Structure 1
């Protein structure tokens, strides 16, 4: 009996020793995560994600490796969110496009009137805390960070000086809320894929585009356009990095802490990056000879009056579905005025 107890204790001690000294402990087992990105190699956001991946690898002492799949190599941009939910990728970075399960969130970029990425991020974080309807649309993933990014602008192949000059133009729109605003402004929205858009613009199949202003430089569209409207009525928010819930939950507490502790760093770096990008793009467009259009005071008020009416129409549709659309819009307008002083 004593011998049995002795050997039992011996093997118990040996098992614990192995467990905590690198034998089978999950915290000592290296893991590799697949990160599907919306950004091509060389894009500033790709460089930031690469820097973050290296940071995670160092701080996990080599136990976490993050392999980045650039734009379209693992998941297409519209599939980035669902691909993480389904486990095709462990992480993804980009924007959400599809309205399924995202009826509130798909409207946020269109009604986000912030003048800068810093203010857009601040307002979105307050929206997140204030409205559970927004948080619930992200319940199937673990958001690592969500921030504002860049302004949404109208850019055209033709020169224009006033709102009436835009009427009848065929402008590419990436989603329905933005297309609704364009239509109410007298513009003809056209839906097409991101891949087809640069070719159509170059050939003159369409008259211009509406979207994140960095699209112009990402696809070198400055050679195909002559004018950009500097009065934006939308701000691409949120821009995110998310993680599959199972991929996160199977980590040991020490590795979860490595991921969690990096989020504030990533959020701050991303806000700084998009602030620089906004400034860089407009400077580049001006230097390239693209006309940066500013409406007169009266014309600007006419423009924004139409935009505000469309915003109210869009949020009333949300109200009808049981969401607090009007309250969200009022919250954004109030905070925009407060933080823009």
Structure 2
């Protein structure tokens, strides 16, 4: 090898070494409100593995489960202020900031399936509309995930609307509490992580927690022996949202990996929930749980109350009006409303 050739080889080696050393890394602290053993919790663990594998280890995620750093409703602010980097809880916790956050997570009486909601986000202008809201709080919406319609659970019969009278149950903050209050229930807003203890001690009669499979995973049916299925009232999507300066500082490739991994999480959660709900349904009789499939009339009563609430909430802020209109336009576009 000539000295010139050796010089070129040495220079190339230095360039490659320098390039490797200069590869940008991303470290993220993220909190979710799910138990690690729940369906969503297990899939979030897979999300972390997928991100780290696809990035070749250049993205390192420290994931906190069961709201272990701050309370669920405080996660968004903790990310926005630098305690965390990203929030993987639920947008509806932020309705105190702006009523529009209700419609980032759960339209209550709007979409019938998670696919329809995701279609709005990815193909109906939802992502852009959401980021107008999130950016105002210093956050960027990356994506969301939802398994399907949730099941109410109760320590007493819950056959239809009539049984909501005096029904004291855990409800997330926001529009849901108002809808159920109109129907005679007594919603109690509490942290997601407090549900089991509140049921066990009789503080509440029931809870809007999650899907049938997740409820089984959390042990709720060890205490609450009545549940609704198929769900009708709520299909709440958790989000992945990161502080905007953190998001903007990432290499484009890292942002693409996180977005793609979140979409994979969403698809896996939809399909696995379908399977696990079926399996959970088969197990419930052995647990002594009674399942109630609400009548078309009772479902219509709930949907009517929900749609009335949409109109009331749309008047709260300009941002709420904009996002409600976006949902209404898309529901019409896909044939779910006139």
Q: What TM-score comes out, normalization by structure 2 length? A: 0.79
Contact 1:227–1:291 under 8 Å retained in 2 = yes
Contact 1:39–1:70 under 8 Å retained in 2 = yes
Instruction: Give the root-mean-square deviation of aligned CA atoms.
Output: 3.4
Q: What TM-score comes out, normalization by structure 1 length? A: 0.78
Determine the C-alpha separation between the residues in 2 that align with 1:295 and 1:235.
16
> What SS does the corresponding residue of 1:42 show, helix, strand or coil?
coil
User: Which 10-residue stretch deviates more, 181-190 or 214-223?
Assistant: 214-223
User: 2:271 corresponds to which residue?
Assistant: 272
User: Which 10-residue stretch deviates more, 272-281 or 16-25?
Assistant: 16-25
Cα 1:317–1:101 change in 2 (3 A) is closer
Aligned equivalent of 1:118, options 115, 123, 145: 115
Gaps of 5+ in 1: 1-9
Determine the C-alpha separation between the residues in 1 that align with 2:35 and 2:173.
22
The higher radius of gyration belongs to: 1
Determine the C-alpha separation between the residues in 1 that align with 2:302 and 2:249.
51
User: 1:187 corresponds to which residue?
Assistant: 185
Contact 1:110–1:233 under 8 Å retained in 2 = no
The one-character-per-residue Cα deviations of 1:175-211 (angstroms, maximum 9, x if unpaired) are 1311101111111222233343322222223222234
Shift >6 Å, 4+ stretches = none
Contact 1:26–1:252 under 8 Å retained in 2 = no
Cα 1:213–1:322 change in 2 (3 A) is closer
Cα 1:267–1:220 change in 2 (3 A) is closer
Gaps of 5+ in 2: 1-6
Cα 1:275–1:119 change in 2 (3 A) is farther
Cα 1:317–1:77 change in 2 (3 A) is same
Contact 2:120–2:126 under 8 Å retained in 1 = no
Cα 1:306–1:40 change in 2 (3 A) is closer
> What SS does the corresponding residue of 2:74 show, helix, strand or coil?
helix
Q: Which structure 2 residues correspond to residues 164-203 of structure 1 after superposition, within 5 A?
A: 164-203=162-201
Give 1:32 deviation, angstroms: 3.4
Aligned equivalent of 2:45, options 40, 50, 53: 50
Contact 2:147–2:211 under 8 Å retained in 1 = no
Give 1:286 deviation, angstroms: 4.8
User: 2:100 corresponds to which residue?
Assistant: 104
Q: How many residues align?
A: 323
> What SS does the corresponding residue of 2:99 show, helix, strand or coil?
coil
Give 1:23 deviation, angstroms: 6.7
> What SS does the corresponding residue of 1:151 show, helix, strand or coil?
coil
User: 2:58 corresponds to which residue?
Assistant: 63
Q: Which structure 2 residues correspond to residues 230-249 of structure 1 after superposition, within 5 A?
A: 230=229, 231-237=231-237, 239-249=238-248
Determine the C-alpha separation between the residues in 1 that align with 2:126 and 2:248.
26
- Asked whether 1:35 is paired with 2:30, we answer yes
Determine the C-alpha separation between the residues in 1 that align with 2:16 and 2:71.
41
> What SS does the corresponding residue of 2:180 show, helix, strand or coil?
helix
Give 1:94 deviation, angstroms: 2.4
Determine the C-alpha separation between the residues in 1 that align with 2:299 and 2:142.
38
Determine the C-alpha separation between the residues in 1 that align with 2:260 and 2:165.
50
